[in-house]
Homo-oligomer: A and B are copies of this chain.
Amino acid sequence: MQNTALGRKLGAFVALSAPEISALESLHKRRRTFVAGRDLVHQGQSEQAAYILASGWAVSYKIMEDGQRQIVDFQIPGDFLGLRSVLFHLSDHSVEPVTNIDVTEILLPDLLDAFSRTPRLAMAILWAASRDEAMVVEHLVGIGRREATERMAHFLLELGARLALVGMGSKAGFDCPLTQYHLADALGLSAVHTNRVLRKLREWGMLTFRSGTVRFDDYDRLAEFAKFDPTYLDQTGPLLK
């Protein structure tokens, strides 16, 4: 069970029993692979599938009429991709792999089947969806009320914390396949300003973003500067025993 990143994540909310684990495993059929850059969920289209990300990074975003794009969130192993797109008539967003990725596909009937097998798993999935929403909410707060430098710091700290939960990062930093354009589109900034902000953080000795890695040069000072409080990630252990 702990072999899947999703299992590990859900374990942070419910202590899963054997039948629940098997119901969860039954969702992990149909493995697929997608190459970097080719969308796997398409905004505005119907009958999209959802996926659980097994390895690699993805990005979910919305495109506006004038071609601007707003990145909603990045997904890392254990995260759902396009869950809303199976529940809605038309997908409200797109998902693109940042790297090559491995996923398992989930269709609506699979989900319904799993729900009827165990209500606690349904609850766990509702929790996971709510956690995603909490991250979007925090992101909203960042864009609405934090200035650029603090926003950047906060965002990278969040990513670090999420990656740590699945063993892909620590307070020292993490491997990061994103470009400055990704960060700009996520944070509502221009690429130019993104670059300036990163320079500041580097010059201040707080973090270094370069060539595929994020290094926290002074984690504590960075966290204080960004007022990072990871409560909203709710990673403190099972609530439902």
Name A's B-contacting residues (CB within 8 A): 13, 44, 62, 64-65, 68-70, 72, 83-84, 87-90, 92-93, 108, 111-112, 115-116, 119-120, 122-123, 125-127, 129-134, 136-141, 143-146, 187-188, 227, 231-232, 234, 236, 239-240
Q: How far is the CB of A53 from chain B (nearest CB, A)?
A: 18
Residues of B within 8 A of A227 (CB): 64-65
Interface of A is mostly: helix
Which of A13, A133, A236 is most buried by chain B, counting CB atoms within 10 A of its CB? A133
Q: How far is the CB of A5 from chain B (nearest CB, A)?
A: 20
The listed residue (B70, B131, B145) touching A188 by CB distance below 8 A is B145
Does B70 contact A231, Cβ atoms closer than 8 Å?
no
Does B143 contact A144, Cβ atoms closer than 8 Å?
yes
Known: A145-B64, A234-B89, A236-B89. A84 touches B130 (CB 8 A): yes
Closest 7 A/B residue pairs (Cβ):
A144-B188, A115-B119, A116-B119, A92-B232, A133-B133, A122-B122, A70-B141
The listed residue (B64, B115, B123) touching A123 by CB distance below 8 A is B115
Query: Could you list 4 further interchain pairs (A-B, Cβ under 8 angstroms) beyond the known A62-B141, A87-B126, A116-B119?
Result: A62-B137, A88-B131, A89-B236, A112-B123
The listed residue (B62, B68, B88, B140) touching A70 by CB distance below 8 A is B140
The listed residue (B120, B125, B188) touching A112 by CB distance below 8 A is B120
Known: A115-B115, A145-B70. A239 touches B89 (CB 8 A): yes
Known: A64-B141, A123-B115. A84 touches B44 (CB 8 A): no
Q: How far is the CB of A50 from chain B (nearest CB, A)?
A: 11
CB-nearest residue of chain B to A92: B232
Does A72 contact B130, Cβ atoms closer than 8 Å?
no
Known: A88-B134, A144-B188. A231 touches B64 (CB 8 A): no
Q: How far is the CB of A63 from chain B (nearest CB, A)?
A: 10
> A126 vs B116: C-alpha distance in the bound complex, in angstroms?
14
Residues of B within 8 A of A234 (CB): 87-90, 92
Does A126 contact B125, Cβ atoms closer than 8 Å?
yes
Does A134 contact B89, Cβ atoms closer than 8 Å?
no
